Structure 1
Amino acid sequence: MTTKFYDRLSNDLTQLLENPFDCNVTIEVGEEPASQIFEAHSYILQSRSPYFKKKFNESPFNENHELKMPDISTKVFNVIINYIYGGTISLEKLENSIVFDLLIASHELDLDELVEHLQNHLVTNNSSWLRLNFAHVYQTSFQKNFEIIQKFCNNIIVKHPETVLESENFNFLPEDVLISIIRLDNLQLEEDKIWDYVIQWGMAKNPNLPANLDEWTSDNFLTLKTTLKNCLPHIRYFNISGELTLKKLYPYQQLFEPKLWLDILTRFLTPNEPISSPILPPRNILNVTLPTRTRTTPIPSNIITDERALEISSWIDRKETPYTENNPYEFKLLVRGSKDGFDVKTILKFCDKVSNTVIVLKVKGTGEIIGGYNPLEIYNNMYGQWYSSENSFAFSLKTKNQENSIVSRVTNFNYAIYYNSSDSYFQFGRILCLRGNLKTGKGSICSTEYYEKQIRSNTSVFSVEEFEVFKVSPKK
């Protein structure tokens, strides 16, 4: 019988990491100037990670035995290096986005055991977060071949394809991800609607195509056909009714090869005639009615989606697991810059004596969406005054150019919110300072004082394309 003293071994190796002795490798992690140096032992790294073994064998160390890993954050690498030395990992205090970054880094370092564990952890304990960030999660899991998360995502897609196809990120999906979806045999969606989504995706890739199909030239159709050449073979044309073929396929007949188009027409005009084009089997549509998401009135916003409103509601309720559907709050529009004017005085006037408000702003030139939640009553007072709050926060939302949302809560409660209608000021501490005319002025800025962390990496002044203020109330 063999006795294994793994706990003692893990502890001793962890001590070796914490008190470096005879290290022959330094690893610079993260991007300067916030990078951090980790000292390590090449023989431990090589024995635990195929990535490091390959790295050390491919090229000899330079004189200083240095490695640079700018794409991995220091927080993520600290978890990884402790796992490599001690074989232990603690995820309880990590944000879900960090756990997902940890999964990606573990994959890059060929830490198969950790990759499997992290996938199971996310699927079992954080499925709501995966759903909220579904498009990004699915795309990454497909690219990295995260099989456990892929299976989780595919199960959602086949039952609720709108999760991806109606998301704000659908038009930005890579081609291979879109193909992986439309190839699913049990995708619970009519074939003509799949066709509509594919056309939508192709049009988004070619924004210069005329909006009116009657104005299209042969070159326009050729452009779209070239974009969709790898997607079109996966549409099951012979499972679309004759009526819908006439309505939806006929206007785009120039996308089809002549032989395929002739076979499509033959199938409906003379169904007994043989055709030579391949016929894909019909999708396995279930006869039972699948549970659907509760349909609610869309948020009346030109800036944020329902998905982002769910995220803000989660922050209001301090939820560790974010809402993914059935928002408990109603967002009632109070002010919109393009309708009511862009001066801060307008906000203070329209929202006087109103509490529990959310302001969202779209930054001009960058597409950033920033804002804040204010639980206090807004006062249209002439003289500047600070007001105390424990629950206010500022945020920047996930967009095409920002991978993850950021929420920053107030830390100095006495300097949470500031109003001054005389000077046209409205501030969340100093993390979000709105001043004067938000569209034409040059006074608004984001800093960090009185709140946890920055919501913008750019601390210079900004102006906005649009802003909106909402009254947030619990739904009855």
Structure 2
Amino acid sequence: MTTQFYERLSNDLTRLLENSIDYNVTIEVGENKQIYKLHSYILQSRSSYFYKKLNEIPFNENHIKVLKMPDISIQIFDIIIKYIYGGIISLENLQNSVLFELLIASNELNLDKLIELLQTHFVVNNASWLKLNFSWVCRIKNLKNLNRLLEFCNNIIAKHPDTIFGSDIFLTLPEDTLISIIKKDDLQLRESKIWQYVIQWGKAQNPTLPTNLDEWTSDDFLTLKTTLKNCLPHIRYFSISSEDVFKMIFPYQQILESEVNNKQTYSTALLPRTINITIPTRNTLNIITDKHALKISSWIDRKLTKYTKNNPYEFKLLVRGSRDGFDVGTIYKNCDKISSIVIVLKVKDTGEILGGYIPCELDKDKNKWIYSPDSFIFSLKTANIKKSILSRVSKSHHTDHAIANFPLHSTIFFGNNLCLVGNLKNGKKCCCLQNKDIYDSYDKFEKPIRSEKFLDKILSENSVFNVEEYEVFQVSKKK
């Protein structure tokens, strides 16, 4: 019979890490250059990265191998080194942003078991966080090594390609990420658009290329060809119309291995993609769920019993912070003269989802208070918030000051009860002011929408906030 004492072994190795007896490796970590005294035989047996790296580094005169890792934070390395020595890790008390940094670092250090655990944590249990931080996820280098995460991202992009092709981060995508996207058989884009995006990406990698194609030399075409050599084989040229071939491809014929002749290219023929162009590409709900949308629709219709299925309203996405920008001016620009809009915010650090409904039209050209008796503000139930809160316009106050439409000051106020100011992501000026002793005459809505723990005092550190993401929807009855 074999008896195993893994817990005792883990404890002994963890104590060895703490005492650093007979260490022969020092690793300098982070910007603060914290020194860890470690043991090569443990590092090399647990990580192929350290196995290779430490074999390349000679011992110094003190018989110590010195390694510097400035790009990894002390917090992340501390978690990793305890895992390497003791084989134990707890995810419970760590924020998703920290866990994602941990996943990236684990990938760099080839910690296979930890990579698999963290991928499962996100893809299975925290898919909503991945969607909310999609642009960040897609910019990760070596994403191809994170198979489950890559598959998750590519499935979203295939169905909703505008989430990436229409975003500011598209031109900064790593090559391997772009290739994994355009290889998808179910990518919901016409082939001519894929060609245009690939060319656009290639030019962005070479900013010195002339803007006017007529000014390009053979060397310029060669530069673009070299940049796109791994991307071009994945274009389905046979799926492009003759008209688009002459208009879009023929001007770049020098970058192709074979000549373009009408609709044909003499490259390997790939099967057409499975395309359903009717799939919506811009209306995905990132912050709120379908259940949240049903609840908001019930509030709009003043239903005592909320809708549970068959939402009578369509939520059309107008603005998304990560896609369009976080300044309040962006809301005015994209929602001018549009009525029946819902603004939803995900508060940074707390995970709260706050929002408001404006049935009247916004005006991007002048400051004014808007009469809006049917407006309401809300907070939604989440994993951290036990219940949703609805706050309608108070009947005890004049409703002609319910909505502050102040584009010239880059602000939108729901009374003083939900205030959106300036840059929602970095300005830390958003707030929910509600103090009956001070602001009673300005409280246009019935009750606070934030939990009491976030409303300790006016303008305290907790009462002003930044948002992690925001979205604005036009809500209209389905036909």
Q: Same fold (TM over 0.5)?
A: yes
Q: Does structure 2 retain, via aligned residues, the 8 Å contact 1:141–1:149?
A: no
The amino acid that maps onto 2:431 is N
CA distance in 2, matches of 1:218, 1:23: 62
Q: 1:375 to 1:239 in 2, by over 3 A?
A: same
- Cα distance per residue 1:199-235 (max 9 Å; x no partner): 4434545668888xxx752428974774354244432
* Counterpart Cα distance in 2 of 1:375 and 1:36: 41
Seen in structure 2, the aligned counterparts of structure 1 residues 314 and 225 have a Cα distance that, compared at 3 Å, is: farther
Structure 1 residues 316 and 61: alpha-carbon distance in aligned structure 2, compared to 1, 3 A threshold = closer
Quick check: 1:280 aligned with 2:337?
Answer: no
Is the Cα contact below 8 Å between 2:158 and 2:184 reproduced in 1? yes
Report if aligned partners of 1:44, 1:85 keep a CA contact under 8 Å in 2.
yes
Secondary structure of 1:39 counterpart: strand
Instruction: Kindly indicate whether the alpha-carbon contact (under 8 Å) linking 2:432 and 2:463 is maintained by their aligned counterparts in 1.
Output: no
Match of 1:299 in 2: 319
TM-superposition CA deviations, 1:410-441 (whole Å, max 9, x none): 99944x52xxxxxxxxxxx6xxxxxxxxxxxx
Letter paired with 1:376? L
2:432 pairs, out of 367, 371, 375, with 375
- CA offsets per residue over residues 384-406 of structure 1, 9 Å max, x none? xxxxxx999xxxxxxxxxxxxxx
How far apart are 1:257 and its partner, in Å? 4.0
Contact 2:82 2:88 (C-alpha < 8 Å) held by counterparts: yes
1:174 corresponds in structure 2 to 174
1:58 aligns with 2:56: yes
Q: What residue in structure 2 maps to residue 191 of structure 1?
A: 191
> How far 1:262 moved relative to its partner?
6.5
Correspondence for 2:251: 254
Partner SS, residue 313 of structure 1: strand
Q: Which amino acid aligns with 1:299?
A: V
- 1:219 aligns with 216
* Displacement after TM superposition at 1:79 (Å): 1.0
Match of 1:425 in 2: none
Paired residues for 1:310-329 under 5 Å: 313-315=345-347, 318-319=350-351, 329=356
The Cα shift of 1:31 comes to 0.7
Distance 2:344 2:82 in 1: 34
Kept in 2: contact 1:106–1:115 (CA 8 A): yes
- Does structure 2 conserve the Cα–Cα contact (< 8 Å) formed by 1:46 and 1:53? yes
Matched, 1:29 2:29: yes
Residue 131 of structure 1 deviates from its aligned partner by: 2.1
Give the SS at the match of 2:186. coil
Aligned positions of 1:362-441 closer than 5 A:
369-376=426-433, 413-414=456-457, 417=459
| DSSP 3-state at the match of 1:85 | helix
Q: Measured at CA, do residues 25 and 277 of structure 1 come closer, stay the same or move farther in structure 2, by a change above 3 Å?
A: closer
Do residues 137 (structure 1) and 137 (structure 2) align?
A: yes
Q: Say which SS state the counterpart of residue 181 (structure 1) adopts.
A: helix
Q: Secondary structure at the match of 2:422?
A: strand
Shift of 1:82: 1.3
Q: Which residue of 2 aligns with 1:123?
A: 123
Query: Is the CA contact 2:30–2:73 (under 8 Å) kept in the aligned structure 1?
Result: yes
Instruction: Give me the whole-angstrom Cα distance separating, in 2, the residues matched to 1:136 and 1:316.
Output: 15
**SS of residue in 2 equivalent to 1:153:** helix
Aligned to 1:102: 102
Kindly indicate whether the alpha-carbon contact (under 8 Å) linking 1:14 and 1:82 is maintained by their aligned counterparts in 2. yes
The 5 A counterparts of 1:129-168 are 129-140=129-140, 142-143=142-143, 145-168=145-168
Indicate how the Cα distance of structure 1 residues 63 and 299 shifts in structure 2: closer, same or farther if over 3 A, else same: same
One-letter identity of the residue aligned with 2:172: F
The answer (yes or no) to whether the contact 2:319–2:473 under 8 Å persists in 1 is: no
Q: 1:354 aligns with which of 416, 438, 442?
A: 416
Structure 2 contact 186–273 (Cα < 8 Å) conserved: yes
Query: What are the ranges of 5 or more consecutive residues in structure 2 without an aligned counterpart?
Result: 285-314, 332-341, 368-405, 439-447
Counterpart of 2:44 (choices 38, 43, 46) is: 46
- CA–CA separation in structure 2 for the residues paired with 1:305 and 1:195: 32
Q: 1:40 to 1:234 in 2, by over 3 A?
A: closer
State the Cα deviation string for residues 276-313 of structure 1 (Å, max 9, x = none): 7125223330569757644624239874289x999981
User: Is contact 1:330-1:473 (8 Å) kept?
Assistant: no
Q: d(CA) in 1 for partners of 2:160 and 2:198?
A: 17
* Pair 412,31 (structure 1): closer, same or farther in 2 beyond 3 Å: farther
Q: Mark the CA change 1:218 to 1:197 in structure 2 (over 3 Å): closer, same or farther.
A: same
Three-state SS of the structure 1 residue aligned to 2:35 is strand
Written as runs of structure 1 = structure 2, the 5 A alignment for 1:259-274 is: 263-265=260-262, 267=263
* TM-score normalized by the length of structure 1: 0.62
**CA deviation after TM superposition for structure 1 residue 147, in Å:** 1.9
Q: What is the match of residue 396 of structure 1?
A: none
TM-score by length of 2: 0.62
CA-CA distance at 1:169 after TM superposition = 0.8
Unaligned runs of 5+ in 1: 268-274, 363-367, 382-389, 393-409, 418-428, 430-449, 456-469
Structure 1 residues 361 and 298: alpha-carbon distance in aligned structure 2, compared to 1, 3 A threshold: same
Shift, 1:88, TM fit: 0.7
CA contact (8 A) 1:253 1:261 kept: no
CA distance in 2, matches of 1:106, 1:149: 14
CA distance in 2, matches of 1:312, 1:204: 33
CA RMSD of superposed structures (Å): 5.1
Matched with 2:303 is none
Deviations 1:154-179 (A, max 9, x none): 22233332232122211222344323
Task: State percent identity of aligned pairs.
Answer: 43
Letter in structure 2 aligned against 1:76:
I
Partner of 1:237: 237
Report the AA paired with residue 416 of structure 2.
V
- Alignment partners' CA distance in 1, 2:410 and 2:186: 53
